[in-house]
Chains A and B, each alone.
Chain A
Amino acid sequence: MNQCESSLTSIFCPCCFIFKIIKMKKTRNIFVCVVCLFSIGVSCTKDFEELNTNPNAPQSVDPQFLLSNVISIAADRNAYEQGFRLSNYLAQFSASVEFERIDRYEMGSNSGYWNTLYRLLSDVRTMKESPTSNEAYGAVGDIMSSYMFSQLTDLWGDVPYTDAVKALDGTYTPTYATQQEIYNNPQTGILATLKNAAETLEKTNSTISGDVMFNGNLNKWVRFANSLRFRYLLRTSKNASNFSEMKALATSGKLMQSNADNALVPYLTAAPNQWQMSLAALGLYQEHRMTKTVDSVLTLWKDPRVAVLYKPTQKSVLDGSPAYRGLLNGQGRETIGEKNINLNDVSLFGTIFRDVPNGVNAQFMQYSELQFALAEAAQKGYINGDVEEFYEKGVRASFEYYKTVVPVDYFANSAIALNGTNNLVKIMTQKWLSLIGIGHEAWFEIRRTGIPTVKPGPDNLNEGRYPVRYTYPESEQATNSANYKAAAQKMGGDDINSKSWWDK
């Protein structure tokens, strides 16, 4: 009604104007009526608010729908775009034959993932602040946030953290936090947040819906949170002197117990939840070749998982003696041509990665990774425990995950047995293999431990160096330039060779 009144006053002037110019008394009254009625009609705006309310989309939703979105999208991006299409080259599970230049360390900024993660972090915030939210949603949201922020800092280094996702509060150019702050800040750091979240979930009576990963089982969330915390404690262990938290976690009984606790979201048979490689151009699939690195390891181990992970070469099948063969990483198409490499005699990825839409899972973390982490920590003396037991559990879990039987003499192989020689290398190499397609975890582990040794390919575009980060998205240069410049300087240049804190 207010609008109507205010617009009435504003038409007062034109009305007066008309009265003055209409000199003919006869028609004057008619016009006063016509004009004023008309004016009221056109200028009344009381229905505008309703008219401008978007009928196509809700203004508020229950937290469960946001939770489903956060978990499933984060899992999918992590598995396909990040794990399979990018990290597998860096970790040398796959080698490119022409187009995937990340294999030659033209890293780029990976800006799509940066945008996705911050967008999902925005969804987490909204979920936590929803009127129908509860402390369980809050804690689960914190676990997902911690995971996503760790992705951000492990991929780019210093990134917006405490200042991030605050556009709703008026912060459009967030400052960057150091990686050390992001992990270790006693109040706001990832480690502290995960600890609090696990504790909250242990004692809460609240429940959650829309949990497409653990189906609302909060115990599994507790184990996931604690296992993640162990992952990050180990990741930052080079800069740590006190391992009490790791020790406590290792004996807490609140870590993942088996593959049943794996943090994963299955791909489904129907769109849009299919493994995208099953629908991709054939050429893209063929850009992912088995590598010499993985070939040599699996051959040395005589590891039957090779039959699940890769395919025998076309040529060997035609010749009647199926065999697996890898390609050297980082070779340009000219080099492959010059060397007369027969690409028909190089293995492709296995059936689960191509021929079916639901052959693989989108994973955050497996039980096997945790066991290898415990093995490493025990080997290094950070925790107490039987290194060999952790190690074997890890290997067996990985075999179980790929539905493969561990050969009876597997652990007798001197390349596998923890016989005192190169124990750490053996643990880390088994761990590395178990991380195929789990985001960039294998790359992080190589950066952290240097195991296994991966050599840049002959045509790498990074002067023979192994890259340790992505460059910041160009959009940060454009939209957040002051903070970008400060962060780049602090990192030692916005360069793919600038090591982050835990890497140093």
Chain B
Amino acid sequence: MRIALIAVMQLFLTAAYCQNVTYSSRIVDSENNSVAFATIQEMNFNNVVTSDEDGNFTIKISRKNFDLKITSVGFEAVIVSVINGQLPRYISLNTSAELLDQVVVTALGIERERQSLGSSVTKISTKELNEVPLTNLVNSLAGQIAGVQVTNGSSGVGSSSRIVIRGENSLSGSNQPLFVVDGVPISNEQITSNLVNRGALQEVDYGNGGADINPDDIESITILKGAGSAALYGTRAANGVVVITTKRGKRAKGIGVSLSSSLTFEDLLTMPDYQNVYGGGGNGDYSFQNGIGGGVRDGGISSYGPKLNQGLLINQFDSPSVDVNGNPVRAGDVITRQKSDGSFTPITATPWVSKPNNVRDFFKIGVTSQTSIAVNSATESNNTRISYSNLRNEGVLPNTDLNRDGLALSLDQLLGKKLSIRSYVNYVNTRSKNRPNLGYGYENVMYGFNWTGRNFNIGSLKDYWQAGQVGKQHYDFNYLWLTNPYLTLFENTNSFNKNRVFGNISATYDFTSNLSLTFRNGMDTYDDRREFRRAVSTNQNPRGSYREDNIRFREINSDLLLSYKNQLNEVIKYSVSVGGNRFDQTINYTFAEASQLALPTIYTLANSRTPLRSDSQLFSKRINSLYGIGSMSYQNMLYLDLTYRNDWSSTLPTNNNSFGYYSAGLSYVVSNMFTMPNKISLLNFRLSVASVGNDTNPYQNAQNFLFNQNYGSSFRVTNETVLKNANLRPERLTAVEAGLEAGFFKNRLQIDISAYQNTSVNQIISRPISSASGFQNFNVNGGEVRTRGFEALVSGNIMKKGSFSWDASVNYTTYRSIVTRLPAGVDQFVTGVANVFSGSGGSNSVFYIARENGRVGDMYGSGFVQVEGKTLYGSNGLPIQDNTLRVLGNYNPDFSMGFNNHFAYKGLEMKVLVDWRQGGTLISRTRALGNTSGVLKETLVGRENGVIGDGVVNVGTTDNPQYAPNTKLVAASTFYNNVFDRGNEASATYDASYVKLRQVALYYTIPASFVKRVKLQSLKIGFVGSNLLLFTENPHVDPELNAFQETNIIYGVDDMSYPSARSYGFSIKTEF
């Protein structure tokens, strides 16, 4: 009371001694760049000035205690309270490190104060996103956010990255979050061509849709993790929402152009751990003659041949020889070497030495350049931003690339005082001359390298046609099983060209300051044309082939939102919005294939020696929605949100196609209600509950027939393998979340923790059923999955000394999904199958099985007979296979953590991001097959003297077994061939834990004094790197990679993945 009195008196005093004082300061943004033309207003007075080009302003004020409100287009408004004339030297706009008072973009593009929300959201600023320029937007989220898990495809730049928020709620389905740009959903899906592992054409990864967005066009990304904050976005948001806000034009000094450019190099991070002691061949023998068994073991492809580097001279495929006319050729040019009597010309033997880098040298240094240029302009009533960006990548695999050009335009216009229009349109062309094939088979060069002796000089395969056989017969060291890897990449190309336009336009009419109506229309449409060429003489397509795929995707979202806000009294404010949405999606997929070329080297559909294979498919889906939101706040300490949405989806049976979403959120800012101890600057509790629904894909309610190709002229149809269900109901996910946010020591230390439970019921699963029932899958509602998780973010300023500062944050994620209930009469639920091993013998698959109280992600497969925890061996010294399914592991991690560090010293800034994933299992085909073939280092054990397997043998009878340790010595080749046999999966597992040095950036801001001289506004140069180091148990492959099978991404399985790459280079950011 006394203090208040004094303050009042002071006010009077100040007023009494009225005299104008000039105050100066400078307005800067979060990167310390000056903000020109900002408006500075003395609050409650008509005293306004504008900052100059360098952000400086002066204002004359007669009081010593006053409030300044600073506004500038493109920035958040800031109010600076000045006491006793102490105006700071710099006023920073849009300070991003502050958790307090942060504005985040939530559902439907509505901006909210962060502290008012009942469920967890995380905002990433543009700086965090593109400090280290990455080629896929999704990848830049890896390791940065608690609760978010990112995995990559294996085929380098342009691969699909998968993002999962808060684990997998759904037993089937992609579990991918919804991507929303400026309030309108866009597609992050990958539409895969229906290619088949080991089929005529192997899988190709064409990338996820979200990768088309240029990170430099993004102002911020907000991750809505909980179902609560996502409830308004409808079915696709059950797995969280990635809300992307694009940059808008802002008033800038200079001519308003900003430019960023980077040049990075990619180099292999992983490589199978090859042995370099024994060459190709078998039983210690090898000699090349014709690569089909005409020499000694030259038809075989295993690596149990003669010892290397012993001074041996042996005939090899690239040893010198002559053709039938005596002209010099390579030994592998077998056609010209074969005489009319069938015999071959002689070969001059060459040294039998190891080529330790033969595979590594096949890869090259990848080069990626990215440039983004943007022009900004803004006036009182409009702002414009135009940007052009490009990406040029040459992959680490020869003749693979990715090119992307994007043009984005945002235009905001105020029409009169009440109507404002915002628009954004982005055109992106993405293309590649060749994307590498994935999976197990001849078309993946890693498959070939697995069967390539350690002595073979892969580089000498570069000239990939046999002498005189250009276009007709490739050149190789083995013609039975392999295809020249250079031919694979240079001739058997998988190209694509995708033209995409997405954007939105919205109009908001403010009837009064309380009531506004927004209409918004967004579209995402693209055409993707893919071409698959296969040269004649390749192993999988001896007669060559040509195929064209065309994908036409279109999604239109239209919505209308009416918003009203007001206050009941001084302390209680409320707002209400209601609206509706129509979602329309059509996908048109066609392909045609000339399965065998009539003439070599001509790639056109007309050049077909057999009838064309073709198909066209149209998928349409519509969802109509209505929704409402109500929010209420009590002072700035208690906030309540209620939302309701109802969807009508065309994909569900008409009597069951309506479903609602409800959410309630409560936020309680304790620190604003009570005076806290000095050290606590913020304390906020939040609580939210939500129940959301989900639909399914089109055409899942009625049975159809599939067309088979004709037999002769007889038309053929067959049943689908999926049993449809006319009684499907919508899925439901119920989520409860509690969180706590606290700041200490003037927010130098901040903690944000969340705990949640998601319960998913009535999931729509295409569940595998006994194929003896006539169908292999059944679309059904069923099961209850409960996910409990915990996330924490601790961030703070660790050190601030002079001009040095160190900010660090640690995020921690853990979750466990348990199958809590299965439908009556079902004891286990197969949620998916991955084909890991093919060919005759043993099990061929990994089954993802949900058992009651079992963990989601448990993988089952076959292994060896186990007796008292030991492997049982037969009298032949080989382990005995047991096709009983057993748990091989779980593909989910136990927990994951990210460590994010920022250092700053004067003009220097450094970022270091490390992430750690603990737990999970990887079933590695690279390991299994590399041991079968003998290329891996593991197979060196016992090469000379044989191997005694660790385990027991039955020395009793079948009925009365007695076990004794196995003592039988077996040749290494036989031993590894059987232990890593394709008939079991258990021997090929690895712990998938890893620690990765994810991102490093070191930037130097060139001093303004120098920059001005070269007519620039600002200039920053940096060294950047990503995926620099990896520590993991598995010596062969990156455990983080995804595998593709048919049209699905599969988990926990390495399917002959390509080496992953580290990337490093330079980045420059400038404005002029």
Contact A114 B342 (CB under 8 A): no
The one of A102, A477, A480 that contacts B772, using a Cβ cutoff of 8 Å:
A480
Contact A165 B973 (CB under 8 A): no
Could you tell me which residues of chain A, from 199 to 213, have a CB within 8 Å of some CB in chain B?
210, 212
Q: How far is the CB of B617 from chain A (nearest CB, A)?
A: 5
Contact B705 A57 (CB under 8 A): yes
- Of A3, A41, A461, A479, chain B has the most CB atoms within 10 Å of the CB of A479
Q: How far is the CA of A34 from the CA of B1037 in the complex (A)?
A: 59
Given contacts A52-B701, A174-B770, A475-B770, contact A106 B778 (CB under 8 A): no
Q: How far is the CB of B930 from chain A (nearest CB, A)?
A: 16
Which of A65-73, A224-232, A408-416, A434-442 lies at the binding interface?
Answer: A65-73
User: In the complex, what residues of B have CB within 8 A of residue A55's CB?
Assistant: 618
Given contacts A61-B705, A101-B840, A343-B293, contact A51 B620 (CB under 8 A): yes
Contact A68 B716 (CB under 8 A): yes
Q: How far is the CB of B540 from chain A (nearest CB, A)?
A: 7
Residues of A within 8 Å of B, CB-based: how many? 115
Contact A48 B622 (CB under 8 A): yes
A166 interface residue per 8 A CB criterion: yes
Contact A51 B596 (CB under 8 A): no
User: In the complex, what residues of A have CB within 8 A of residue B628's CB?
Assistant: 14, 17
Interface string of A246-262 (1 = CB under 8 A from B): 00000000000000000
Q: How far is the CA of A42 from the CA of B617 in the complex (A)?
A: 27
Given contacts A56-B616, A59-B702, contact A123 B841 (CB under 8 A): no
A43 interface residue per 8 A CB criterion: yes
Could you tell me which residues of chain A, from 40 to 82, have a CB within 8 Å of some CB in chain B?
41-45, 47-49, 51-61, 65-66, 68-69, 72-73
Listed by A's residue number, 10 A-B pairs whose Cβ atoms lie within 8 Å are A48-B654, A56-B617, A58-B705, A59-B704, A167-B775, A167-B778, A172-B773, A268-B711, A337-B297, A475-B845
Interface string of A109-134 (1 = CB under 8 A from B): 11100110011111101100000000
The one of B293, B511, B624, B827 that contacts A481, using a Cβ cutoff of 8 Å:
B827
A100 interface residue per 8 A CB criterion: yes
A355 interface residue per 8 A CB criterion: no
Q: How far is the CA of A86 from the CA of B617 in the complex (A)?
A: 36
A22 interface residue per 8 A CB criterion: yes
Contact A281 B860 (CB under 8 A): no
Q: A14-B628, A273-B711, A282-B479 are in contact. List 19 more A-B contacts (CB 8 A).
A: A11-B646, A21-B564, A39-B626, A42-B580, A51-B621, A54-B702, A57-B707, A73-B708, A106-B881, A108-B842, A118-B774, A167-B774, A172-B769, A173-B769, A173-B773, A174-B773, A212-B712, A332-B977, A463-B875
Given contacts A35-B562, A42-B626, A283-B480, contact A477 B723 (CB under 8 A): no
Q: How far is the CB of A106 from chain B (nearest CB, A)?
A: 4
Q: How far is the CA of A59 from the CA of B517 in the complex (A)?
A: 45
Contact B342 A317 (CB under 8 A): yes
B830 interface residue per 8 A CB criterion: yes
- Of B515, B578, B654, chain A has the most CB atoms within 10 Å of the CB of B578
User: In the complex, what residues of B have CB within 8 A of residue A323's CB?
Assistant: none
B19 interface residue per 8 A CB criterion: no
Given contacts A48-B650, A122-B774, A268-B712, contact A42 B283 (CB under 8 A): no
Q: How far is the CB of A327 from chain B (nearest CB, A)?
A: 12
The one of A119, A343, A482 that contacts B299, using a Cβ cutoff of 8 Å:
A343
Q: How far is the CA of A282 from the CA of B298 in the complex (A)?
A: 13
Contact B714 A68 (CB under 8 A): yes
Interface residue ranges, A against B (CB under 8 Å): 3, 6-7, 10-11, 14, 17-18, 21-22, 24, 27, 31, 34-35, 38-39, 41-45, 47-49, 51-61, 65-66, 68-69, 72-73, 85-86, 97-102, 106-111, 114-115, 118-123, 125-126, 159-160, 164-168, 171-174, 210, 212, 265, 268, 270-273, 279, 281-283, 286, 314, 317-318, 332-334, 337-338, 343-344, 461, 463, 471, 473-483, 494
User: In the complex, what residues of B have CB within 8 A of residue A65's CB?
Assistant: 714-717
Q: How far is the CB of A453 from chain B (nearest CB, A)?
A: 23
User: In the complex, what residues of A have CB within 8 A of residue B885's CB?
Assistant: 474, 477-478
Contact B285 A102 (CB under 8 A): no
Q: How far is the CA of A321 from the CA of B847 in the complex (A)?
A: 54
Contact B721 A119 (CB under 8 A): yes
Q: How far is the CB of A156 from chain B (nearest CB, A)?
A: 10
The one of A17, A160, A271 that contacts B596, using a Cβ cutoff of 8 Å:
A271
Q: How far is the CA of A187 from the CA of B1 in the complex (A)?
A: 101
User: In the complex, what residues of B have CB within 8 A of residue A174's CB?
Assistant: 770, 772-773
Task: Name the CB-closest residue of B to A480.
Answer: B770
Considering the complex of A and B, which 3 residue pairs feature the smallest CB-CB distances, nearest first?
A: A337-B283, A283-B480, A122-B774
Contact A43 B626 (CB under 8 A): yes
Contact B715 A334 (CB under 8 A): no
B292 interface residue per 8 A CB criterion: yes
Q: How far is the CA of A85 from the CA of B840 in the complex (A)?
A: 9
Given contacts A53-B702, A171-B773, A283-B480, contact A461 B844 (CB under 8 A): no
Given contacts A22-B515, A45-B648, A173-B770, contact A69 B973 (CB under 8 A): no
- Of B539, B621, B769, chain A has the most CB atoms within 10 Å of the CB of B769
Task: Name the CB-closest residue of A to B839.
Answer: A99
Q: How far is the CA of A159 from the CA of B651 in the complex (A)?
A: 37
Given contacts A159-B772, A167-B774, contact A48 B648 (CB under 8 A): yes
Contact B840 A102 (CB under 8 A): yes
B611 interface residue per 8 A CB criterion: yes
B719 interface residue per 8 A CB criterion: yes
Given contacts A61-B717, A272-B613, contact A17 B578 (CB under 8 A): yes
Contact A475 B768 (CB under 8 A): yes
Q: How far is the CB of A22 from chain B (nearest CB, A)?
A: 7
Q: How far is the CB of A493 from chain B (nearest CB, A)?
A: 11
Contact A479 B622 (CB under 8 A): no
B94 interface residue per 8 A CB criterion: no
B957 interface residue per 8 A CB criterion: no
Contact B770 A58 (CB under 8 A): no
Given contacts A106-B841, A337-B282, contact A478 B709 (CB under 8 A): no
Contact A3 B704 (CB under 8 A): no
User: In the complex, what residues of B have CB within 8 A of residue A173's CB?
Assistant: 769-770, 773
Given contacts A69-B708, A102-B841, A281-B539, contact A42 B625 (CB under 8 A): yes
User: In the complex, what residues of B have CB within 8 A of residue A273's CB?
Assistant: 711-712
B10 interface residue per 8 A CB criterion: no
B343 interface residue per 8 A CB criterion: yes
Q: How far is the CA of A38 from the CA of B519 in the complex (A)?
A: 11
The one of B539, B543, B718, B845 that contacts A474, using a Cβ cutoff of 8 Å:
B845
User: In the complex, what residues of A have CB within 8 A of residue B860's CB?
Assistant: 478
User: In the complex, what residues of B have CB within 8 A of residue A271's CB?
Assistant: 595-596, 610-611, 613, 709
Given contacts A43-B648, A108-B844, A165-B774, contact A270 B283 (CB under 8 A): no
Contact A107 B299 (CB under 8 A): no
B349 interface residue per 8 A CB criterion: no
Q: How far is the CA of A273 from the CA of B613 in the complex (A)?
A: 12
Contact B650 A106 (CB under 8 A): no
The one of B560, B578, B657, B709 that contacts A48, using a Cβ cutoff of 8 Å:
B657
Q: How far is the CA of A374 from the CA of B300 in the complex (A)?
A: 45
B699 interface residue per 8 A CB criterion: yes
Q: How far is the CA of A501 from the CA of B543 in the complex (A)?
A: 47
Contact A18 B613 (CB under 8 A): no
User: In the complex, what residues of B have CB within 8 A of residue A125's CB?
Assistant: 774
Q: How far is the CA of A171 from the CA of B579 in the complex (A)?
A: 45
Q: How far is the CB of B607 from chain A (nearest CB, A)?
A: 14
User: In the complex, what residues of A have CB within 8 A of residue B297's CB?
Assistant: 337
Contact A318 B844 (CB under 8 A): no
Q: How far is the CA of A56 from the CA of B614 in the complex (A)?
A: 13
User: In the complex, what residues of B have CB within 8 A of residue A126's CB?
Assistant: 719
Q: How far is the CA of A488 from the CA of B742 in the complex (A)?
A: 60
Contact B702 A115 (CB under 8 A): no
B433 interface residue per 8 A CB criterion: no
Q: How far is the CA of A318 from the CA of B341 in the complex (A)?
A: 7
B658 interface residue per 8 A CB criterion: yes
Given contacts A52-B699, A101-B840, A210-B714, contact A164 B774 (CB under 8 A): yes
User: In the complex, what residues of B have CB within 8 A of residue A44's CB?
Assistant: 624
